[in-house]
Amino acid sequence: MKRAELLVCHDCDLMQRGAPCPPRGTLRCLRCNAELERDLPESLGRALAFALGALVLFVISNLYPIVGLSVNGNLVRTTLWHAVEILYLDGMWPIAALVFATTILMPGMQVVCLLALLVPLAINRAPWQAPLLFRVMYTARPWGMTEVLILGLLVALVKLSHIATVVTGVALWSFGALMLVLAGASAAFDARQFWSRVARATQPANAPNVTTNFVPREEARGRGDRAAGPLTGAACGIARCHVCGLLARMPAAAHAATCPRCGCALHLRKVASLSRTWALLVAAIVLYVPANVLPVMDTSSLFGTQKDTIMSGVVYLWVSGSWLLALLVFIASIAVPMLKILGLSYLTWTTQRRWTWLPEQRTRIYRLIELVGRWSMLDIYVITMLVALVQFNALATIRAGPAAIAFGAVVILTMFAANMFDPRLIWDAVERENGSTR
């Protein structure tokens, strides 16, 4: 039987016939315009080169000082690890753990896993524990926030320049390079090519070349003629793995299964997606108020004590003439969390009400929310640098305030809420309406 490649959209679940991807081009979903495939020539070789560069830069960035502050002959330098340690010693261990995870642990795991996967393939050997390493790399990627850290460092430098003389360190420049190299590694890595190489490295030399990402089209259509409407993966009992992209047939009457390739959980739809999203959003809404009302930073000096909120920090940047940075901080720390909460609430409510209007636009809103969610961490990194550097005992000391914990929780909760929401549910209502009108 002739087999035709099938593609299932991860955002709307539409099943489509595969087509050759144009050179350096992309294949997009016919219904929601989501990216399905991208042609990346020499993908694994370029990703390996970027990963090796990222490893060197990662080590330099964490060993050398990022920046120093000089006041009356006293020079205070800090590394990223030292900044995390000061937060922990000040009793702000939740913020210390958050900064450590997003700037050291997750980027480090991403680089190590990428090298562990690609180095063996470069010498024509199968990677050890490839499914596990691939899942870890996939999980770590959205939580590594090096680019947000760089912007936070720039904002902190502007604030510190009004206090004392700022001395830039080696790690500041290496972190900037690490940001670019990590982005290049992520953009160059093609999961499709990777698993194809792994399959060739693991199968015996005389074994037939078989891939599990191909399904007989006549079998997949199952329900009947194409004129009956567009087919979805769920209607045919086929789930697309969100980690490795493999198409797999779900067992009968099963809500979940395991991907035969990477071991990730498979599901036709995320279990209790709307109720879990609502629960996370309600918690984020409750914490959003103290995050903006309570002081996010306490400054003690010879002139007394000053408590600053997120908004007062924006005002300080604006008054000092750093209008662009003030606008960036306002957008990242105040506007983005609020718009994420409003946007996810709108998507969850309209999906729960089974609205069928503007499904493509609502799917685009969801993609935008996923894209900008990480940038809300900006203020957390600014506070981290200020707390680590302004430690001049009797002269001046900065400590993180209670709002920092609430704000960090809002960022994490909204990111989890976006991850819990299943955009395929938006299109399920459209499918039901089309089915009732046929």
Residues 101-114 pLDDT 10s? 999 999 999 999 99
pLDDT grade for 205, boundaries at 50, 70 and 90: very low
Q: Using 50, 70 and 90 to split pLDDT, how confident is the model at 223?
A: very low
Which residue from 237, 215, 281, 258 is spatially nearest to 416, judged by alpha carbons?
281
31 or 392, greater pLDDT: 31
DSSP string, 122-187: HTT-PPTTHHHHHHHHHHHGGG--HHHHHHHHHHHHHHHHTTSEEEE-HHHHHHHHHHHHHHHHHH
Task: Report residue 363's pLDDT band, with 50, 70 and 90 as the boundaries.
Answer: very high
Segment among 151-165, 326-340, 351-365 with least mean pLDDT: 151-165
* Lowest-pLDDT choice from 49-58, 177-186, 304-313, 411-420: 304-313
Does 96 or 209 have the greater pLDDT score?
Answer: 96
With a cut of 70, say whether residue 407 has pLDDT above it.
Answer: yes
Q: Which of 126-135, 214-223, 385-394 has the weakest average pLDDT? A: 214-223
pLDDT of residue 251: 79
- Entry pTM: 0.85
Cβ atoms of 241 and 135 within 8 Å: the answer is no
Please tell me the predicted confidence (pLDDT) of residue 104. 94
pLDDT band of residue 435 (cuts 50, 70, 90) is low
**Residues with Cβ < 8 Å from 206, sequence gap 6 or more?**
none
Q: If you average pLDDT over residues 195-209, what whole number do you get?
A: 67
Please give the pLDDT value at position 27.
85
- What pLDDT digit, counting tens, does each position of 261-318 carry? 888 888 888 889 999 999 999 999 999 999 988 888 877 665 557 777 888 888 878 8
* pLDDT tens string 418-434: 999 999 999 988 887 76
Structure confidence at residue 204 as a pLDDT band (50, 70, 90): low
Q: What is the pLDDT of residue 379?
A: 85
Query: Contact 271/263 with Cβ under 8 angstroms?
Result: no
pLDDT reading at 212 higher than 80: no
Q: Which residue has the higher pLDDT, 69 or 380?
A: 380
DSSP annotation of 377? G
* The predicted structure's pLDDT at residue 297: 83
- Lowest average pLDDT, out of 97-101, 211-215, 288-292, 339-343, goes to 211-215
List the structure tokens of 26: 């992309």
Is residue 4's pLDDT more than 80? Answer: no
Instruction: Give me the domains of the chain, ranges plus CATH numbers.
Output: 4-39+213-260 (no CATH), 272-432 (1.20.140)
Q: For the chain, what is the radius of gyration of the CA atoms?
A: 25
Mean confidence (pLDDT) of the chain = 83
At 304 the pLDDT is 59
d(CA 384, CA 96) in angstroms, rounded, equals: 8
- Cα 158 to chain centroid distance, Å, stands at 27
More confidently predicted of 406 and 252: 406
Q: What is the pLDDT of residue 165?
A: 79
Q: What angle do CA 364, 359, 229 make, to 5 degrees?
A: 125
